[in-house]
Amino acid sequence: MRPRYIALEVARQLRNLRSLVFTFVLPVVMLLIFGGAYGSSGQLDGSTGLPWLVVTTVQMAGYGAMMAALSQAFTIVNERSIGWNRQLRITPLSGTGYLVSKVVAALTIALLSILLTIAVSTLVLGARLAPAEWAMAALGLWIGVIPFALIAILIGQFAKPEFAQPLFMVTFLGLAILGGLWIPLQVMPGWVSDVAQIVPSYWLNRLGQMGALGSGGALTPALVLGCWAVVLTVLIVWRYRRDAARA
């Protein structure tokens, strides 16, 4: 039953076009604005050595991927509010299968958003990078989005419907700013850069940049994001078992 439910869950979320507007359209619009303003000069980013347009593309692709992952929180909150997760517990679907379906849905939507953003950057704005480097940047962002899907699951398990929206916005905006996905950290106070290295969005951005550079150095971002994933998984399992025991 698990593979079938996962496929149905992914298809159901992809049909919800209204919820996908912010995931697909907003990153592209921001790319066209920022990329058109700063990317046409051909200048290089001093910290990465990448063209500004490529840096902006990675940032916006990471932004869209993070949005796709964190949006799973709303799905889980809604399902909890109507008792859908309790109904699923009396079916052959395991708790693991239910949680995996959310991660797979997040990864599927995130991948589509990443590919769309890169396609617009190359075809419309004329961003230039070797195909292998674009592929590595996309792969880095795609793998790096896993902790954000887990954050969404954790929010979905704790948040009540009336608090889901503000909690999501605080979490999303905080991660986007500290990750340097909106504003380069170089132009912000030094303490912001220090704090940023704690949050996963900073390392998501770095992992995409390392892929675009094609020069290695992705081990540290991968390890940090992996640690985030492990800690979040432990918390999710604990919370799910606690909810199941109450039910």
The pLDDT tens digits of the residues spanning 144-180 come to: 999 999 999 998 888 777 777 788 888 888 899 888 8
Of residues 122 and 87, more confidently modeled: 122
Closest C-alpha to 3, from 65, 69, 83, 92: 92
What mean pLDDT is reported for the chain? 85
Segment holding 73, helix H or strand E: helix 72-81
pLDDT band at 123 (very low <50, low <70, confident <90, very high): very high
Residue 196 has pLDDT above 80, yes or no: yes
The pLDDT tens digits of the residues spanning 8-50 come to: 888 888 887 777 888 899 999 999 988 877 665 567 877 778 8
pLDDT band at 89 (very low <50, low <70, confident <90, very high): low
pLDDT at position 168 is 81
Q: Do 204 and 141 contact (CB within 8 A), yes or no?
A: yes
Burial 172-195 (b: 16+ CB within 10 A, else e): beebbbbbbbeebbeeeeeeeeee
User: DSSP characters for 12-45?
Assistant: HHHH-HHHHHHHHHHHHHHHHHHHHHHSTT-PBP
The pLDDT tens digits of the residues spanning 164-173 come to: 778 888 888 8
pLDDT band at 88 (very low <50, low <70, confident <90, very high): low
pLDDT at position 41 is 55
In this prediction, residues 187-203 reach a mean pLDDT of 86
Q: Percent of the chain beyond pLDDT 90?
A: 39
pLDDT at position 90 is 65
